[in-house]
């Protein structure tokens, strides 16, 4: 285990630990412990308190990821279908890393999780705020015999998988916003990013990235849109990040398996039940145009259906953004 990881795990309880005890743990001097803690503060953005006579502690305790806990929490059926589970301390992006592994031959079902993303991404290249030891940053690799165009709707199906997990922990007001946002009372709770590569006629390699806000804290002030985290939502059943990660992996595997068999048509009715803007007057904006009309839901390809001046028009993810009109 890397020394920084070992040190963070020791301090994760939020209690004071003496410099002497930490030095014994790492096999270094107390002065070296201080230098290591300074490096951790700068590298991971963790706030560390130092109190004479008491030692060092993290200002906030951390709920760290653990491979064996996640694997033990997975239902047997999904565990059998899952590939390798990779846990990273800090990584540029779980999606980018897993896409690279896929290109190098990684098997279908591989999962990548990280305590922190240095360059987490949302749609249209937006930054995804990713503080250390908080939230869920998860990516799943899956291989399809289908052409890349045929898996475009998978991001909507995956959003339904995330919503199912949230509803199971009593986050009942969470709903969907096309194409792949999960909102609670019009505030962003989770987002998805689908990345696809492959031959034009298939097969395809797909990576589904999920960012779920569990506890953002002050880092949330850097987000340029209304947001919420599970910690701030009343009546939600408390779950560890490991439990949430296992639930998300399980549900995403169920989703991709059903999508392989039936495509997005198997999810359209469920999407419409939870579409927060269904039947509302909305604006669909692209770089050059703005279209106003009634939101009619989605079709089986994942396109948004908009009633404009009595005529139905279709808009595809990646071309437009959706705002309440």
How much of the chain, in percent, has pLDDT values that exceed 90? 77
Confidence at residue 108, expressed as pLDDT on a 0 to 100 scale: 97
Domain end, chosen from 15, 37, 58, is at 58
pLDDT for residue 223 is more than 80:
no
User: Do residues 115 and 233 share a domain?
Assistant: yes
pLDDT for residue 316 is more than 90:
no
Rounded Cα–Cα distance for residues 88 and 67 (Å) = 10
Burial class of 16 by CB neighbour count within 10 A (0 to 12, 13 to 18, 19+): middle
**Which residues have CB under 8 Å from 227's CB, separation 6+?**
187, 188, 189, 213, 216, 220
Q: CATH number, domain at 23?
A: 1.10.10.10
Could you tell me the residue range of the domain that residue 36 belongs to?
3-58
**How many residues are given for the chain?**
325
Confidence at residue 124, expressed as pLDDT on a 0 to 100 scale: 47
User: Do residues 268 and 282 share a domain?
Assistant: no
Catalytic residues: 123, 188, 323
φ/ψ region of 310 (left if φ > 0, alpha if ψ in -120 to 50, else beta) reads: left
Q: How many other CB atoms are there within 10 angstroms of residue 46's CB atom?
A: 20
pTM: 0.90
User: Do residues 115 and 246 share a domain?
Assistant: yes
Mean pLDDT taken over the chain: 91
- pLDDT bin (cut points 50, 70, 90) of residue 163 is very high
Confidence at residue 3, expressed as pLDDT on a 0 to 100 scale: 67
pLDDT digits (tens, 9 = 90+) for 7-26: 999 999 999 999 999 999 88
pLDDT for residue 252 is more than 90:
yes
How many domains does the structure of the chain reveal?
3
User: Do residues 79 and 213 share a domain?
Assistant: yes
The dihedral sign for the CA sequence 62, 68, 72, 73: positive
Q: How many other CB atoms are there within 10 angstroms of residue 228's CB atom?
A: 20
Q: Where would I find the beta strands (DSSP E) of 228-303? A: 281-285, 290-298
User: Do residues 98 and 226 share a domain?
Assistant: yes
User: Do residues 94 and 228 share a domain?
Assistant: yes
| Contact call for residues 36 and 50 (beta carbons, < 8 A) | no
Rounded Cα–Cα distance for residues 5 and 312 (Å) = 54
Domain end, chosen from 15, 41, 58, is at 58
Q: CATH number, domain at 285?
A: 2.30.30.100
H-run or E-run covering 78: helix 76-81
pLDDT for residue 218 is more than 70:
no
User: Do residues 290 and 224 share a domain?
Assistant: no
Rounded Cα–Cα distance for residues 21 and 290 (Å) = 62
**Which residues have CB under 8 Å from 158's CB, separation 6+?**
180, 192, 194, 208, 210, 252, 255, 256
User: Do residues 318 and 188 share a domain?
Assistant: no
User: What does the block give as tokens for 180?
Assistant: 């792949």
pLDDT for residue 176 is more than 70:
yes
Rounded Cα–Cα distance for residues 210 and 182 (Å) = 10
pLDDT digits (tens, 9 = 90+) for 286-296: 778 888 999 99
| Contact call for residues 62 and 133 (beta carbons, < 8 A) | yes
φ/ψ region of 186 (left if φ > 0, alpha if ψ in -120 to 50, else beta) reads: left
- pLDDT bin (cut points 50, 70, 90) of residue 4 is confident
User: Do residues 181 and 300 share a domain?
Assistant: no
User: Do residues 282 and 266 share a domain?
Assistant: no
User: Do residues 121 and 239 share a domain?
Assistant: yes
Q: CATH number, domain at 225?
A: 3.30.930.10
User: Do residues 8 and 97 share a domain?
Assistant: no
């Amino acid at each position: 285990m890397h020394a920084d990881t070992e040190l963070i795990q020791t301090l994760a309880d939020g209690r004071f630990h003496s410099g002497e005890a930490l030095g014994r743990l790492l096999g270094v001097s107390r002065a070296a412990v201080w230098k290591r803690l300074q490096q951790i503060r700068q590298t991971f953005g963790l706030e560390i308190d130092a109190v004479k006579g008491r030692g060092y502690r993290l200002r906030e305790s951390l709920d760290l990821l653990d491979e064996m806990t996640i694997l033990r929490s997975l239902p047997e059926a999904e565990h059998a279908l899952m590939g390798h589970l990779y846990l990273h301390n800090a990584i540029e992006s779980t999606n980018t890393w897993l896409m690279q592994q896929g290109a190098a031959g990684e098997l279908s079902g591989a999962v990548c999780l990280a305590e922190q993303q240095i360059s987490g991404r949302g749609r249209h290249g937006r930054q995804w705020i990713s503080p250390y030891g908080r939230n869920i940053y998860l990516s799943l690799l899956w291989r399809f015999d289908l052409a890349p165009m045929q898996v475009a709707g998978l991001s909507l199906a995956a959003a339904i998988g995330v919503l199912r997990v949230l509803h199971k922990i009593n986050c009942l007001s969470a709903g969907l916003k096309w194409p792949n946002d999960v909102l609670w009372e019009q505030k962003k709770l989770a987002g998805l990013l689908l990345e696809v590569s492959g031959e034009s006629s298939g097969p395809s390699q797909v990576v589904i990235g999920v960012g779920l806000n569990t506890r953002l804290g002050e880092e949330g002030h850097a987000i340029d849109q209304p947001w919420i985290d599970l910690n701030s939502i009343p009546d939600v059943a408390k779950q560890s990040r490991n439990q949430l990660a296992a639930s998300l992996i399980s549900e995403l595997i169920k989703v991709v398996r059903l999508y392989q068999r039936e495509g997005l048509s198997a999810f359209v009715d469920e999407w419409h039940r939870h579409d927060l803007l269904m039947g509302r007057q909305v604006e669909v904006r692209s770089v050059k145009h703005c279209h106003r009309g009634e939101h009619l839901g989605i079709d089986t390809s994942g396109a948004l259906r908009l009633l404009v001046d009595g005529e139905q028009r279709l808009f595809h993810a990646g071309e437009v953004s959706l705002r309440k009109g």
